[in-house]
Structure 1
């Protein structure tokens, strides 16, 4: 049953934060001496367990590098110029984190302004080490009512467990939430567990949706 609460639950990337920096995948592919298309396929195909906190960064990057070489020799050498070693993995890890580090300052300000009228939380698919870096670099995250990073809660959208985590953490009902994400599949997943949902396109459209969704404040009788 819904209560009288209203909680705006934001996605991060593509809504408040920018999507991956253009050219980042090509940069990482070059470091691996791999075609960008092949690297991009491996990067995303191996990603779900990393996002969901089921793999560490070294495990993820080892999987990516191995997938670029279908039959690696026993030494795990991918090519004469690249092997799976700690330095290579750390370089790729840091480049990856940096590629997702940009925020939309206008959306950050808007999300913060909403806290004057409603509760504001965040649910993002992001590996645990990326989450640590983002929390350190973006102190405004600590002002929200709840922050749920998939790598920390061990569940990634669109899995129902990711949304249930937020419901339980905020001691709310699913219908108390308006979930905002740029991916329609994630919004549909939120709606399937009973949340309200909005597919994000821009701030002005979202502001109009939220203004309509929030209860009208009536003057107090004297």
Structure 2
């Protein structure tokens, strides 16, 4: 770590926010008229360009339906879009409070793979985001983890060195990608384990 202020860079879903709402995939499959398994495969297979801001919501959902040999009007696509946003809307209040408490000891930032329209909805619903030192949503910065460009964006935005960061994510491939750029990494398994790692990594206040 350099002599500059340390930065804890959090992933969102699976760390500060909950994974997709249970039953959401079945609900969206029913809206589309597709079998749940086929819908789930199409949903994830085509997701990365949407996360990375390379496709709009309408383009993404049209591609999903096309891959399932289905068609739908704008109203159904909008229903799918809103159901999808709702499915990723829950946060872990204890983790959000903990992350905010770290600002006495470090800068606190966020790097999340999330489409641009989801990001807009999430930012509106979660005012605590305004209190972080930087928020990077993949759909807005046009780079999704584990693309090194996503991590480089945060380094540049915070005028820091990679070694100033501890990146926290629940996906090992993303932690490895951050480490490959020169950041420190922590694979998130729970708040207690993270607190112990941060107590070792951060300077004593």
TM-score interval w.r.t. the shorter chain?
over 0.9
Q: Distance in 1 between matches of 2:204 and 2:2?
A: 17
- The 5-angstrom pairing of residues 50-129 of structure 1 reads 50-69=50-69, 78=70, 83-129=71-117
> Alignment RMSD, CA only?
1.0
How many residue pairs get aligned? The number is 205
Structure 1: where are the runs of 5+ without partners?
70-77, 218-222
Residue 176 (str. 1) matches residue 164 (str. 2) = yes
1:15 maps to which residue?
15
User: Mean Cα displacement is larger for which, 139-148 or 3-12?
Assistant: 3-12
8 Å CA contact retained: 2:32, 2:72: no
Residue deviations 1:71-124 (CA, integer Å, cap 9, x gap): xxxxxxx2xxxx321101100000000000000000010011111111000000
Is 1:11–1:124's contact at 8 Å kept on the other side of the alignment?
Answer: yes
TM-score of the pair, normalised by structure 2: 0.98
The structure richer in helix per residue is 2
Larger Rg: 1
Give the equivalent residue in structure 1 for 2:49: 49
Check conservation: 1:6, 1:118, Cα contact below 8 A: yes
1:31 is displaced (CA, Å) by 1.1
2:190 is aligned with 1:202: yes
SS in 2 for 1:147: strand
Gapped regions of structure 2 (runs ≥ 5): none
